[in-house]
Structure 1
Amino acid sequence: MNKVKHQILTIIVAVSENQVIGKDNDLIWKLSLDLKRFKSLTSGHHIIMGRKTFESFPKPLPNRTHVVITRQKDYKAPEGVIVVNSLEKAIQASKSDSSPYIIGGGEIYKQALAIADRVELTRVHAHFEGDTFFPDLDLSQWKESNNKFIHKDENHAFDFSFITYKRQ
């Protein structure tokens, strides 16, 4: 799978200590700082996702170009949403963006991990029951470049960390 040259492909994900990212096509936790960080990082960029992730939104997210990957041949998406049938085609559809983001779900993350340049990971310091998981990062391929720990408080039910990994 080829990336467009001069493009930094970033995976953005929130993951529990036991690698859970979701259950029943929904997020398990609500962390306002994580949502703000997601919005800040992805605004103005292409966001690449699977169909189920896209359908979990009440409506397309503002100020982002949505690229949805689905095997459904006749999938109908709202106007302005780009529909493709592979991660490679999603990356091609995002070639005008120097920094597109992969936002899920589990199957898309698995495919993208082989070619991504960066992972923006929110590590939720708790264990959860779930049905969707993020693959383990092979730390021989990834170098941690940033790590910020946030204590739980009245707005956040769990401790969590913002961690940036760059491909070595």
Structure 2
Amino acid sequence: MSYANTEVAQIAAISSNRCIGKDNELPWHISADLQHFKSMTTKPNDGAIQGIVIMGRKTFESMGSKPLPKRVSFIISTQLDYAEQKGLVGKDNAYVVHNLDDALTQAASLAHGAHIDTIWVIGGERVFSDALMYTDRIELTHVDTEITDGEAFYPELPSEFEITEGSEQMHDDKSELDFRFVTYKNKVAE
């Protein structure tokens, strides 16, 4: 699988009914999950770039329309003037592209130059779904709750993805939610 010899991985936190978003935000706040996300998508290396992420426009906006620290963001938007709207023209840590193929091509090229092994797809619903055909690994945080009024959902995993690792069930005192980290690998890609 992979894309231009670079691993493509997805990372998301999902409810028991696969919800990933409500009101263009995460439906919960779990500190350990945010730390997990940061540690997975950021890998210290010699260069200034410590990670590469691909996301849709709404996901970017849900993060305050700011690129993630120490990572290069590829934002997919069909709006031709989106980079101008968000003040991203000339930035070296955020690029607006107009489709997933362009995002993957540019991200893989950057990854090779920066000696980064993994490109992270971080949302939202459509980007996750479209990227599944290129995905080698998926890191899901399974949050033990059901979100009945959610607006964005993680796709059903194709049968070629199987669980290779899973953490113990953990509990977040602030949100009162239980969760666990699970790694899925694409057995066809190996």
Counterpart selection for 2:62 from 52, 56, 70: 56
**Identical amino acids, percent of aligned pairs:** 38
Instruction: Please report the TM-score for the alignment, with normalisation by the length of structure 2.
Output: 0.83
Picking from 47, 62, 72, the partner of 1:65 is 72
Q: Which amino acid aligns with 1:46?
A: I
The aligned amino acid for 2:11 is I
* Structure 1 residue 156 displacement after superposition: 4.5
Which residue of the partner structure matches residue 142 of structure 1?
A: 161
- 1:88-120 CA-partner distances (Å, limit 9, x unpaired): 100111113220100000010110112200000
Aligned residues: 166
- Name the SS of the counterpart of 2:173 in structure 1: coil
Specify the alignment match of 1:45 in structure 2.
51
Match of 1:106 in 2: 125
Please give the secondary structure, in 2, of the residue aligned with 1:38: helix
Displacement of 1:154:
2.1
Alignment gaps of 5+ in structure 2? 43-49, 112-116
State the AA in 2 paired with 1:147: G
The equivalent residue for 2:184 is 165
Counterpart in 1 of 2:45?
A: none
Distance of 1:48 and 1:167 partners within structure 2: 19
8 A contact 1:149–1:159 mirrored in 2: no
Q: Normalized per residue, which structure has more helix?
A: 2
In the TM superposition, what are the counterparts of 1:22-37 in structure 2 within 5 Å?
22-37=21-36
Deviations 1:23-65, CA, capped at 9 Å, x for gaps: 1111111111110010011111110000111111122210000
Contact 2:143 2:177 (8 Å CA) reproduced:
yes
Secondary structure of the residue aligned to 1:29 is coil
The 2-side partners of 1:21 and 1:66 are apart by 20
SS at match of 1:71: coil
Which residue does 1:133 correspond to in 2?
Answer: 153
Task: Measure, in 2, the Cα distance between the counterparts of 1:130 and 1:156.
Answer: 17
Root mean square deviation, CA, Å: 1.5
TM-score by length of 1: 0.93
What are the ranges of 5 or more consecutive residues in structure 1 without an aligned counterpart? none
